[in-house]
């Protein structure tokens, strides 16, 4: 199958990493993020009584690392990419759930005897799932710390024109899907095929006028990329 033109919609710096993987599969990658990551002004990290950190995104890892030099806490990561980001900034005790927020919560609950203190979840203002709520329901003391937010990117007419010829768009979050829905209102793409990281990611596109949509069987980028060659022409 000849290479396809794949739209990478995720925010930077993750977009470039995804683009590299797409190119390695023999496809053309167009990096045009639907969202931008913006740090929360005045955010501070207080690790008093914290026994472990839980991350649901690489952006959360990077935001925490910029504000705190602490690297000795046990880390629970939602998946391989987030775990790799944690190791890259110097964390040594890193465990990966290789799944979604529910799998991460389950993994933390299973190891709660090893956690001497509160589980802190540094992350986005609008997280993809309620990790803290899931942990509290299972009797694990936890709290969130908002370090960054994501905002829709305003596409110029030139940027919208650059999307012509795109065959497949990759979505990594429900918020990106919502931004795509808004963009399609002014720039219809009826031939677009959209692939999402999970069923939850694709939910905002329920009524979108696009040619095809599918989601990965597991919320891992490798599973998402595997869908590209299975997507109909």
- In this structure, the chain runs to a length of 233
Label residue 94 by pLDDT band (50, 70, 90): very high
Residue matched to tokens 């935001």: 63
Tell me the backbone φ, ψ of residue 39, rounded to 5 degrees: -65, 150
Label residue 127 by pLDDT band (50, 70, 90): confident
Statement: residue 41 has pLDDT above 60: yes
Kindly report, residue by residue over 111-124, the tens digit of the pLDDT. 999 999 999 999 99
Label residue 105 by pLDDT band (50, 70, 90): very high
Q: Give this prediction's pTM.
A: 0.81
Mean pLDDT of 31-40: 94
**pLDDT given for residue 2 in this prediction:** 65
Kindly report, residue by residue over 132-189, the tens digit of the pLDDT. 999 999 999 999 999 999 999 999 999 999 998 999 999 998 899 999 999 999 999 9
Question: Which residues lie closer than 8 Å to 74 by C-beta, 6 or more apart?
Answer: 51, 52, 53, 93, 95, 114, 115
The Cα–Cα gap between 98 and 78 comes to 6
Question: Which residues lie closer than 8 Å to 218 by C-beta, 6 or more apart?
Answer: 99
Residue 146 pairs in a beta bridge with 123
**pLDDT given for residue 220 in this prediction:** 81
């Amino acid at each position: 199958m000849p290479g396809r033109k794949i739209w990478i919609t995720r925010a930077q710096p993750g977009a470039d990493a995804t683009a590299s993987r797409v190119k390695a599969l023999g496809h053309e990658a167009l990096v045009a993020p639907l969202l931008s990551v913006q740090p929360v002004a005045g955010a501070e990290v207080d690790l008093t009584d914290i026994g472990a950190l839980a991350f649901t995104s690489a952006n959360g890892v990077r935001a925490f690392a910029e504000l705190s030099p602490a690297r000795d806490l046990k880390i629970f990561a939602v998946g391989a990419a987030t775990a790799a980001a944690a190791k890259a900034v110097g964390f040594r005790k890193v465990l990966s759930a290789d799944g979604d927020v529910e799998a991460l919560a389950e993994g933390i609950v299973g190891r709660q005897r090893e956690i001497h203190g509160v589980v802190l979840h540094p992350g986005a203002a609008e997280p993809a799932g309620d990790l803290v709520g899931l942990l509290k329901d299972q009797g694990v003391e936890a709290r969130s710390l908002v370090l960054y937010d994501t905002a829709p990117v305003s596409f110029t007419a030139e940027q919208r024109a650059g999307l012509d010829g795109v065959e497949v768009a990759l979505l990594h979050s429900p918020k990106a899907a919502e931004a795509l829905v808004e963009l399609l209102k002014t720039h219809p793409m009826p031939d677009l095929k959209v692939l999402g990281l999970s069923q939850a990611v694709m939910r905002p596109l329920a009524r979108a006028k696009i040619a095809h949509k599918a989601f990965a069987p597991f919320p891992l980028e490798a599973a998402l990329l595997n869908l590209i060659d299975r997507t109909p022409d």
